[in-house]
Amino acid sequence: MGRQVTVLVGAQWGDEGKGKVIDILTRDVQYVVRYQGGNNAGHTVVIGENKYVLHLIPSGILHEGKICVIGHGVVVDPKALINEIEILKQQGIQTAGRLKISDKAHIIFPYHKRIDELRESKRKKGKIGTTKKGIGPCYGDKVSRIGIRMGELYDPDFFRTRLEDNIEEKNPMLKEGGFEEFDAKSIYREYLEYADLLKEYICDTTKLLNEALERGDSILFEGAQGTYLDVDYGTYPYVTSSNSTAGGACTGGGVGPSRIDRVVGVVKAYTTRVGEGPFPTEFGEDLMDRIREKGGEFGATTGRARRCGWFDSVLVRQSVAINGIDQVAITKIDVLDELESIKICTGYRYKGKIYNNIPGDPNFLEECEPVYEEHPGWKEDTSEKTSYADLPENARKYLARIEELIGTDIMLVSVGKSRKQTFSYK
Ligand code: GDP
Ligand code: IMO
Ligand code: MG
């Protein structure tokens, strides 16, 4: 790779194929680090006949000998993590000695999941369509300074007092919402057992990573979700509760901004979104079913059908700016193989004016009408192509146009789920 620190982010609404691209880039690094989000993520990697779906553990775990870090910006559901470690073990992947968890990562408790559910069920309008994994309420406690961190499980007196305070605060709200209340004692006992099982993995990951950099080792930061799910840059309030953009690697990963050498954006050749929120280029019914079926667009975490639409170059160009993306990996070209013609959104029409950016008006993305240019399809199977030169001419033209519109170089092209269905651009 020749660069010590790479941050990889999703440039759209998540599920761009980050897991696959991480798997390819992991070959060249010693460390792979998750820096935000939690088990709301679902990163799929296909190796030969085997499919792995990673939720909390960095996708790098599938490469023997690589160290995988869950940084302090991640929110950890210990039960889900232990389950993921177990599933990996059954698939022949060992985590012992290779998985490191920050002692400062905040913990998801059962009351976070229930509050997530409660909030969604009580919203009259504007449901977010969360994964119900407790992500928002856990980050809420973190910034309210009442959260509990992984390292604090090993100070039982502190842990018990904090937990009791939290449960005392949350129970009345749950009761009022018609939900069952929680008992601090039983959660305390349950989480001390998790603490025991996870003890070998907990450490100061900031120190670990900075020492690695001093030694000259390379790090790949694995973003979860995508740019437009970022709590600051995304389509608020239809977002997740963390900074999924590249800056999150510094605040949640443990290295300073001057250490980052490159930012890679993963982009799907069309657009998808799970959950609620604006989506200007969303397909009508016919194309929706066709592309969803062909692209296997069902959530890796919740199994929900993903909403699908045309490629939106305005969104991705803005994503390039927000993240400082240097290079793009483009996935799922093969999903478009059968289309007669393919549209790219190049701007929006709103209240009689044409925009090629997204202004601050909160109704803009809900109400705007996309402006498209139309390209002829290639009507040829690309899934067995092994180089850029092999691609049909119209596919090459489509990629070149995307590159031009987003103002960034494409580094990698993906035409299928497997490792070998990947090649470098030009
Ligand atoms: P992530 O969350 O960004 O890691 O993406 P997901 O794993 O949730 O969703 C991407 C899905 O597309 C997975 O099922 C991948 O196996 C699959 N995938 C990745 N790249 C390609 C590709 O180039 N073509 C096809 N057909 N599928 C792909
Ligand atoms: P990966 O890493 C796609 C979406 C949810 C919902 C919103 C808030 O696999 O790309 P949350 O549970 O985080 O509070 O839900 O964010 N969402 C994702 N959508 N890919 C993901 O992760 C997502 N993680 C959260 O559907 O709309
Ligand atoms: Mg996913």
Q: Is the pLDDT of residue 307 over 90?
A: yes
Can you tell me whether residue 330 is helix, strand or coil?
A: strand
Calculate what percentage of the chain has a pLDDT beyond 70: 100
Please report which confidence band the pLDDT of residue 2 belongs to, taking 50, 70 and 90 as the band edges: low
Between CA 257 and CA 261, with CA 260 as vertex, the angle to 5 degrees is 145
Helix (H, G, I), strand (E, B) or coil at 350: strand
In this predicted structure, the answer to whether residue 230 has a pLDDT above a threshold of 70 is: yes
Is the pLDDT reported for residue 362 higher than 90?
A: no
Q: Give the pLDDT confidence score for residue 53 in this predicted structure.
A: 96
- Indicate if ligand 1 lies below 6 Å from the C-beta of 17: yes
Q: How far apart are CA 203 and CA 201, in angstroms?
A: 7
Nearest ligand to the C-alpha atom of residue 412: 1
pLDDT at 1 over 70: no
Catalytic site residue from 23, 43, 141, 230:
43
Which residue, chain included where needed, has tokens 């910006």? 73
Angle at which helix 110-122 crosses helix 135-143, to 10 degrees, equals 110
Q: In ligand 1, which atom is closest to the CA atom of 53? A: 7
Report the mean per-residue pLDDT for the chain: 96
Which pLDDT belongs to residue 425? 83
Could you give the 3-state DSSP secondary structure of residue 147? coil
Alpha helices in 106-245 (DSSP H): 110-122, 135-143, 156-176, 184-198, 205-215
- Looking at residues 317-346, what average pLDDT do you find? 98
Ligand 2: which atom is nearest the Cα of residue 302?
Answer: 26
Establish whether residue 102 lines the binding site of ligand 2, counting it when its CB lies within 6 angstroms of any ligand atom: no
Could you give all domains of the chain from N- to C-terminal order, each with its CATH number?
A: 5-101+202-264 (3.40.440.10), 106-197 (1.10.300.10), 267-424 (3.90.170.10)
Q: Quick one: pLDDT at residue 154? A: 98
In the set 15, 77, 312, 334, the catalytic residue is: 15
Mutate to test the pocket of ligand 2, among 36, 119, 131, 298 (most ligand atoms within 8 A of CB): 131
162: pLDDT strictly greater than 80: yes
Answer whether 271 contacts ligand 2 (Cβ < 6 A).
no
Closest atom of ligand 2 to 301 CA is 9
Distance CA 19, CA 332 (A): 13
13 CA distance to ligand 3 middle (Å): 10
Measured in Å, residue 382 CA sits from the centre of ligand 3 at: 23
Q: How far is CA 168 from the centre of its chain?
A: 33
* Average pLDDT rounded to a whole number, residues 183-197: 98
The string of pLDDT tens digits covering residues 92-135 is 999 999 999 999 999 999 999 999 999 999 888 889 999 999 99
Spacing, Cα 195 to ligand 2 middle (Å):
27
Ligand lying nearest the CA atom of residue 53: 1
pLDDT higher than 60, residue 404: yes
Cα 96 from Cα 300, distance rounded (Å): 25
Closest-CA residue to 92 (of 122, 48, 29) = 48
Average pLDDT of 396-415?
97
Q: What is the spatial distance between Cα 295 and Cα 301, in angstroms, rounded to a whole number?
A: 16
- Closest-CA residue, ligand 1 atom 13, reads 44
Q: What is the pTM of this model?
A: 0.97
pLDDT attached to residue 58? 98
Give 226 Cα–ligand 3 centroid separation in angstroms: 9
55 catalytic, yes or no?
no
Q: Which two tokens stand for residue 77?
A: 């559901």
pLDDT digits (tens, 9 = 90+) for 23-48: 999 999 999 999 999 999 999 999 99
Residue 370, ligand 2, Cβ within 6 A: no
Q: Does the active-site annotation cover 15?
A: yes
